[in-house]
């Protein structure tokens, strides 16, 4: 089967992140992926920052699949991309095999790659081992139009899910999580519409609220405490850990889009007739507004909603007062929870002049952005690293929360900084537990400011630019005359080249 129409510009087997977004998009459209590209462009709109500045976006969807029981994962892409993705997934403890269908220019152009993928899927889809097989087209196969939608929908009862996750169409790895979660929810919704489905293992009795986002493990428990007085429970989480949990997620009485970038997933919940609520229960004001919105969406009577709020808000207020934060903090990241973290910090007393998130503006973070603006905080959606660094330099914070390169920059300048993913996302955010979680770490880090300044002074000029590296016993010095000799050599070489050209 031919996957490339004769007119399609053929991306080389080596093309990828560096081939240029426009070129790759044009190739994908010419190769029959117009609908898929339009969908990605609509779901994950561009912004001031529209190219991935973090790891390969496909890591997001790869990780979602690898964290599911009885789900096999197959990648189709350039060997270097697959090497990087599998390396990262094992670095993060995947402990699962990642299937790979290699290709070369010939198999790509002749369509043999699609046949190879089909064979791999058939060999993998064993019902005794798997509920589903996920096949992911990375950049080059997407640009070449490898038609995963032509794979069988199921083989011996094993569902086959084919997704395109190109770096030139999905700006962040956060949104790539949504690509796979949305595709799975869509499949599961269609199954449920056709008849009875398997009972979810983690089915919560009673009226449950589905939670969207990869949450810190204590957060669903904290949310459950908020919901219980309204006769509700914290239900399934999407992304799910098992196929049948998708049915539980679709069955929630309401859906909390705690992470606001799951556009394709929300579409499936809406198609299933579920009301979706944005923001999250952070601090006093955030928790009050969220509980009211969830209560209304789940048709909880007003008196019960009021009583539920009164049951928890004083305890949250007391926690915030006990763990007050007196510091100026800038926040940036790509997790999608940056706005909620900033809200919590402000409610705890911090000054937060800037929040940057790599995620786009969506309906589900609109209330948070408005609240933050009203509290003197600039919110930058699709923030670039350059914008985050410029904002940090201008704000001169007591503590910068951010991505690895931002933290590195802050430390170079002698400012305390914390890596958002490891240090902030790894602690509770919601409800009573969340209210006291940040104070300790902020206090410990900001106390270190003076020590950082001393270290910067002590190491001034060492380990930077061409003096970087290990093995020096003393402060590195240029060998005498070295630069001058090199300058003369370069000048002589340039002159010789000029002579050849004349």
Give the nearer residue to ligand SF4 in terms of CB position, either 78 or 319: 78
Using CA atoms, how far apart are residues 42 and 33, in angstroms rounded to an integer? 14
CB of 382 to ligand SF4, least distance (A): 17
Q: What is the CA radius of gyration of the chain?
A: 26
Give the nearer residue to ligand SF4 in terms of CB position, either 76 or 445: 76
Using CA atoms, how far apart are residues 309 and 323, in angstroms rounded to an integer? 21
Residues in Cβ contact with 155 at an 8 Å cutoff, skipping those fewer than 6 apart: 121, 122, 125, 133
CB of 56 to ligand SF4, least distance (A): 3
Give the nearer residue to ligand SF4 in terms of CB position, either 20 or 376: 20
Give the nearer residue to ligand SF4 in terms of CB position, either 83 or 472: 83
CB of 313 to ligand SF4, least distance (A): 45
Using CA atoms, how far apart are residues 233 and 205, in angstroms rounded to an integer? 8
Give the nearer residue to ligand SF4 in terms of CB position, either 2 or 14: 14
Using CA atoms, how far apart are residues 177 and 377, in angstroms rounded to an integer? 28
Kindly report the number of other CB atoms within 10 A of residue 353's CB atom: 18
CB of 175 to ligand SF4, least distance (A): 13
Give the nearer residue to ligand SF4 in terms of CB position, either 84 or 414: 84
CB of 486 to ligand SF4, least distance (A): 35
Give the nearer residue to ligand SF4 in terms of CB position, either 30 or 58: 58
Residue 401 β-bridge partners: 331, 418
CB of 133 to ligand SF4, least distance (A): 19
Interacting residue ranges for ligand SF4, rule: CB under 6 A? 16-17, 56, 58, 77-78, 81, 84, 138-139, 166-167
DSSP letters for 42-104: HHS---S--S--SS-THHHHHHHHHTSTTEEEEEES-HHHHHHHHHHHHHTT--S--EE----
Give the nearer residue to ligand SF4 in terms of CB position, either 142 or 332: 142
3-state secondary structure 335-400: CCCHHHHHHHHHHCCCEEEEEEECCCCCHHHHHHHHHHHHCCCEEECCCCHHHHHHHHHHHCCCEE
Using CA atoms, how far apart are residues 342 and 373, in angstroms rounded to an integer? 11
H-type alpha helices, 132-200: 139-143, 173-194
Sheet holding 232-238, edge to edge: 232-238, 207-212, 254-256, 276-277
**Is there a contact between 330 and 391 (Cβ–Cβ < 8 Å)?**
yes
**3-class DSSP state of 332:** strand
Residue 44 Cα distances to 110, 344, 364, 372, angstroms: 31, 26, 14, 23
CB of 140 to ligand SF4, least distance (A): 7
Give the nearer residue to ligand SF4 in terms of CB position, either 3 or 78: 78
CB of 21 to ligand SF4, least distance (A): 10
**3-class DSSP state of 135:** strand
Give the nearer residue to ligand SF4 in terms of CB position, either 56 or 418: 56
Give the nearer residue to ligand SF4 in terms of CB position, either 11 or 333: 11
CB of 87 to ligand SF4, least distance (A): 11
CB of 228 to ligand SF4, least distance (A): 43
Preceding peptide of 239 cis, ω within 30°: yes
CB of 259 to ligand SF4, least distance (A): 22
């Amino acid at each position: 089967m031919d996957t490339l129409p004769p007119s399609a510009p053929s991306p080389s087997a080596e093309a990828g992140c560096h081939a240029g977004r426009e070129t790759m998009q044009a190739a994908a459209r010419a190769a029959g992926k117009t609908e898929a590209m339009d969908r990605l462009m609509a779901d994950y709109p561009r912004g001031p920052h529209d190219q991935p500045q973090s790891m390969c976006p496909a890591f997001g969807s790869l990780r979602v699949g690898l964290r599911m029981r009885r789900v096999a994962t197959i990648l189709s892409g350039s060997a270097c991309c697959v090497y990087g993705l599998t390396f990262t997934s094992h670095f993060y403890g995947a402990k699962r095999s990642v299937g790979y269908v290699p290709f070369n220019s010939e198999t790509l152009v002749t369509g043999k790659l699609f046949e190879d993928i089909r064979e791999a899927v058939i060999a993998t889809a064993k019902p005794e081992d798997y509920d589903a097989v996920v096949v992911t087209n990375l950049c080059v196969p997407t640009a070449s139009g490898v038609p995963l939608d032509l794979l069988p929908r199921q083989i011996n009862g094993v569902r086959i899910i084919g997704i395109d996750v190109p770096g030139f169409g999905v700006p962040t790895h956060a949104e790539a999580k949504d690509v796979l979660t949305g595709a799975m929810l869509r499949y599961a919704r269609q199954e449920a519409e056709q008849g009875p489905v398997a009972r979810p293992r983690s089915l919560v009795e009673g009226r449950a609220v589905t939670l969207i986002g990869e949450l810190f493990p204590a957060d669903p428990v904290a949310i459950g405490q908020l919901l219980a007085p309204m006769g509700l429970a914290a239900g399934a989480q999407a992304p799910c850990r098992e196929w049948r949990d998708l049915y539980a997620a679709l069955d929630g009485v309401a859906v909390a889009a705690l992470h606001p970038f799951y556009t394709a997933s929300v579409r499936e919940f809406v198609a299933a007739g579920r009301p979706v609520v944005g923001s999250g229960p952070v601090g006093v004001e955030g928790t009050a507004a969220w509980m009211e919105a969830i209560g209304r969406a789940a048709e909880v009577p007003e008196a019960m909603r009021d009583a539920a709020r009164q049951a928890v808000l004083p305890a949250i207020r007391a926690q915030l007062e006990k763990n007050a934060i007196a510091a100026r903090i800038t926040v940036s990241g790509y997790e999608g929870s940056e706005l909620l973290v900033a809200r919590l910090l402000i409610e705890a007393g911090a000054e937060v002049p800037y929040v940057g998130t790599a995620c786009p503006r969506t309906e589900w973070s609109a209330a948070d952005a408005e609240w933050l603006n009203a509290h003197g905080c600039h919110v930058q959606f699709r923030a670039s690293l350059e914008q985050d660094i410029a904002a940090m330099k201008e704000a001169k914070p007591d503590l910068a929360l951010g991505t690895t390169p931002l933290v590195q920059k802050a430390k170079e300048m002698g400012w305390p900084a914390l890596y958002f993913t490891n240090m902030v996302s790894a602690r509770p955010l919601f409800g009573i537990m969340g209210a006291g979680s940040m104070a300790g770490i902020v206090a410990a880090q900001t106390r270190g400011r003076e020590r950082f300044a001393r270290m910067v002074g002590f190491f001034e000029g060492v380990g930077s630019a061409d003096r970087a590296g290990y093995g020096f016993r003393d402060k590195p010095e240029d060998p005498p005359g070295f630069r001058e000799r090199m300058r003369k050599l370069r000048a002589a070489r340039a002159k010789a080249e000029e002579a050849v050209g004349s």
